[in-house]
């Protein structure tokens, strides 16, 4: 068994592309190895800013021999057909056998192919994998025709300790496969010869390169935490930044720097964003959770006291310039009120067919006022005011520089202008929730404005038929729909969706109905609840009634239905419903007529017929009363009373009898079972 070591060494690969590239390289190579019949025992991929590395262990030294039997035409087929078959298998007529088959005598070829040396097979596999790597962006360099993410310097390819014979043609020149690599760009730039993965990994560490990505992340996290703790502070969790910084360094060394006190009056979100976005610095927190006047930068050099002081000083100088910009934006923006910025939204297009942001927020303003009636504790005036100001911070310098601060800065500027806390919080929170893991607003005014903003977007795009298709959702309508669902459910709002959609549509002029929006919301609800373990078929069963658009009431019905179906009564009634519905469906199709009428009691012959009809009649008033009172558990309990009469009916009564009038009457009884049970849910949608 042999080990393959492959390294693709280049200029710095963008951090955001590294992890995916390593996974892609591993999959491409291992899939091709399997296809070539080269099984292996282990494979692992690594990535640093300048290298993609793959190790595959347990490879055989040669491919297995292949023995294939191929059937050809009949032995008495035309000569042209036989010649074509012989040519395809590379054999002469006397080298194939004739075999008696049920449909005649056929030609069979036995093809034996000796396996090639693994060393001879690998170069083509490696070259194909390199060329097929799916980079998000690629480039050409020098006069080469070859495209890659960044200029490629060498291809290290070693099998069983020896360099593979092969080369990668770039166009203007060729990279021959090699057994040498290079270490840290500045500390170990000389060529390093290696014989295998263990030797490669050890020599890279000696050359100041930590190959393992997870190890680099741990070094950064542990080092930063230790530095913070020494100052009586804690490291703010930022997994996204940790992933990125890990892709910028090969020998990580965290260092701590100071933020000048003069900048600490700027909102902490602005400081953190400036540090994170431009400089890739980690923020620290004080013991009480406030932003600390410190930052962590990660050097790509081994620790050296004198050099570290210089590095920190240089980073502090650069940060001073960045934070000076942030402070300037902060001071400049506060010179104008948010209210004075609202007219400028007329210069920002929301969407070509849906007007400007000023148009949108005028609609949201009216809608938020109406929705306030459905949000307990929400003042309509506050909802309207918050909606009016919600997008005004988009015209500020700070948000122009850092778009991720939209809403957040609006809160600060509104507070500076003397707006109420409810209005300030709603401005900050109206974008939420922006995904399944994002927190959902709970303050009444925030809830009303967030709902209004998302409903306006959904109604507008559906009304102009700009709906999500397949995997494409350019306007994030699925996210908006999930946001509406979470706002309603998590705040236990009694909001009828049809009415809410109608209210949102009133803000538009000249647009038709948002066809399919309610179904779209229903599908999103199914996805949301399914992730929480709720059966999607039960949601469909309740939604199918067509009269339930109150999400919290619907969920209560679904919960009661699920509990009921777990009981013996529920299980048996589901079977009975299916049996009755199938018989009625088949006979309706056969007869070309329906059986919705009430059966004639004078035609009952068996006691079980009368008993069942009395049970059904007793539920006519009781079920709607329980449903209207939202006592869905009680409704299921009432429904359970049908089990005995239905079981007895099916045991004693034959529906399809020879007497037409009696058969018709009994089909009407079965239709009555289906109709009565379907007051609770469409049981035909429930999977058995």
**Long-range contacts of range 39-46, CB-CB < 8 Å, 24 or more positions apart?**
41/1, 46/22, 46/211, 46/212, 46/213
Q: What is the pLDDT of residue 249?
A: 97
Per-residue pLDDT tens digits for 352-383: 999 999 999 999 999 999 999 999 999 999 99
> Phi then psi for 484, rounded to 5 degrees?
-60, -45
Per-residue pLDDT tens digits for 420-473: 999 999 999 999 999 888 999 999 999 999 999 999 999 999 999 999 988 899
Check pLDDT > 80 for residue 634. yes
Q: What is the pLDDT of residue 335?
A: 96
Q: What is the pLDDT of residue 535?
A: 86
pTM score: 0.81
**What's the CA gap between 467 and 515, in Å, rounded?**
10
Q: What is the pLDDT of residue 510?
A: 87
Task: Of 24-33, 84-93, 292-301, give the lowest mean pLDDT range.
Answer: 84-93
Check pLDDT > 90 for residue 103. no
The per-residue DSSP string of 164-217 comes to: PS-EEE-SSSEEE-BSEEE--TTT--SEEE-SSHHHHHHHHHHTT----HHHHH
Confidence of residue 616 (pLDDT cuts 50, 70, 90): very high
Per-residue pLDDT tens digits for 640-673: 999 999 999 999 999 999 999 999 999 999 999 9
Q: What is the pLDDT of residue 385?
A: 98
Helix (H, G, I), strand (E, B) or coil at 355: strand
Q: Does domain 562-685 have CATH number 1.10.730?
A: yes
Q: What is the pLDDT of residue 530?
A: 85
**Domain locations in the chain as residue ranges:** 2-62+117-206, 69-113, 213-333, 352-524, 562-685
Check pLDDT > 80 for residue 547. no
Q: What is the pLDDT of residue 497?
A: 93
**What's the CA gap between 133 and 149, in Å, rounded?**
9
- Chain-wide mean pLDDT for the chain? 94
Q: What is the pLDDT of residue 675?
A: 92
* pLDDT above 70 as % of the chain: 100
Give the pair of three-digit tokens for residue 328: 């300037």
**Long-range contacts of range 283-292, CB-CB < 8 Å, 24 or more positions apart?**
283/236, 283/238, 284/228, 284/231, 284/233, 284/234, 284/235, 284/236, 285/233, 285/234, 285/235, 285/236, 286/232, 286/233, 287/232, 287/233, 287/234, 291/264, 292/231, 292/233
**64 vs 28, residue with greater confidence:** 28
Per-residue pLDDT tens digits for 221-245: 999 999 999 999 999 999 999 999 9
The per-residue DSSP string of 632-680 comes to: HHHHHHHHHTTHHHHHHHHHH--SS-S-HHHHHHHHHHHHHHHHHHTTT
Q: What is the pLDDT of residue 88?
A: 85
**What's the CA gap between 396 and 332, in Å, rounded?**
9
Helices (H), 464-567: 477-490, 497-505, 517-530, 536-543, 551-565
Per-residue pLDDT tens digits for 42-54: 999 999 999 999 9
Architecture of domain 352-524: Orthogonal Bundle (1.10)
Stretch 599-628: mean pLDDT: 91
Q: What is the pLDDT of residue 123?
A: 96
């Amino acid at each position: 068994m042999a080990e393959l070591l492959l390294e693709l060494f280049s200029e710095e690969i963008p951090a955001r592309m590294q992890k995916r590239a390593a996974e892609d390289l591993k999959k491409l190579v291992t899939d091709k190895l399997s296809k070539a019949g080269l099984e292996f025992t282990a494979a692992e991929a690594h990535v640093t800013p300048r290298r993609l590395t793959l190790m595959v262990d347990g490879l055989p030294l040669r491919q297995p021999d292949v023995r294939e039997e191929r059937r050809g035409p009949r032995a008495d087929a035309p000569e042209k057909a036989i010649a074509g078959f012989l040519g395809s298998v590379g054999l002469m007529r006397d080298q194939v056998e004739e075999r008696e088959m049920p449909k005649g005598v056929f030609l069979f070829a036995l093809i034996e192919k000796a396996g090639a040396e693994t060393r001879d097979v690998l170069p083509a596999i490696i070259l194909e994998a390199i060329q097929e790597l799916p980079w998000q962006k690629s480039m050409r360099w020098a006069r080469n025709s070859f495209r890659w993410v960044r200029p490629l310097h060498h291809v290290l390819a070693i099998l069983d300790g020896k360099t593979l014979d092969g080369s990668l043609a770039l166009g203007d020149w060729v990279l021959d496969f090699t057994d040498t690599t290079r270490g840290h760009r500045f500390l170990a730039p000389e060529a390093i010869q290696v014989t295998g993965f263990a030797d490669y990994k050890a020599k890279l560490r000696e050359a100041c390169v930590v190959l393992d990505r997870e190890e680099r992340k741990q070094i950064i996290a542990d080092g930063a935490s230790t530095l913070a703790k020494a100052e009586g502070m804690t490291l703010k969790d930022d997994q996204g930044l940790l992933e990125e910084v890990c892709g910028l360094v090969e020998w990580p060394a965290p260092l701590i720097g100071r933020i000048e006190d003069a900048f600490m009056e700027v909102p902490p979100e602005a400081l953190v964003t400036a540090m994170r976005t431009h400089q890739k610095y980690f923020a620290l927190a004080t013991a009480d959770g406030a932003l600390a006047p410190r930052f962590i930068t990660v050097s790509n050099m081994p620790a050296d006291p004198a050099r570290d002081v210089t590095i920190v000083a240089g980073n502090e100088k650069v940060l001073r310039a960045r934070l000076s910009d942030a402070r300037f934006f902060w001071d400049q923006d506060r010179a104008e009120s948010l209210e004075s910025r609202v007219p400028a939204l007329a210069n920002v297009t929301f969407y070509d067919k849906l007007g400007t942001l000023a148009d949108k927020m005028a609609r949201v303003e009216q809608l938020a006022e109406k929705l306030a009636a459905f949000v307990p504790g929400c003042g309509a005036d506050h909802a309207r005011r918050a909606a009016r100001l919600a997008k005004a911070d988009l015209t500020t310098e700070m948000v122009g520089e850092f778009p991720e601060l939209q809403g957040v800065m609006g809160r600060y500027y509104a507070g500076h202008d003397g707006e109420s806390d409810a209005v300030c919080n709603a401005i900050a929170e109206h974008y939420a929730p922006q995904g399944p893991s994002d927190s959902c607003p709970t303050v009444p005014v925030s809830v009303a404005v967030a709902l209004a903003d998302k409903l306006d977007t959904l109604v507008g795009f559906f009304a102009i038929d700009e709906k999500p298709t397949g995997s494409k959702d350019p306007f994030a309508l699925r996210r908006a729909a999930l946001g509406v669902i979470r706002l309603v459910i998590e705040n236990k709002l009694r909001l009828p969706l049809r009415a809410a959609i109608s209210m949102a549509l009133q803000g538009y002029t000249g647009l038709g109905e948002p066809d399919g929006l309610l179904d779209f919301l229903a599908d999103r609800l199914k996805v949301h609840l399914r992730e929480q373990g709720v059966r999607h078929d039960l949601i469909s069963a309740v939604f199918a009634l067509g009269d339930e658009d109150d999400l919290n009431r619907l969920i209560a019905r679904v919960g009661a239905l699920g509990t009921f179906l777990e009981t013996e009564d529920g299980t048996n009634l589901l079977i009975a419903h299916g049996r009755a519905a199938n018989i009625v469906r088949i006979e309706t199709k056969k007869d070309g007529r329906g059986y919705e009428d009430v059966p004639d009691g004078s035609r009952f012959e068996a006691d079980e017929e009368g008993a069942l009809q009395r049970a059904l009649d007793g539920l006519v008033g009781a079920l709607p009363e329980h449903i209207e009172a939202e006592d869905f558990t009680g409704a299921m309990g009432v429904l359970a009373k049908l089990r005995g009469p239905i079981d007895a009916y099916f045991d004693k009564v034959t529906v399809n009898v020879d007497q037409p009038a009696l058969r018709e009457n009994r089909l009407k009884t079965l239709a009555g079972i289906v109709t009565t049970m379907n007051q609770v849910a469409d049981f035909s949608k429930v999977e058995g």
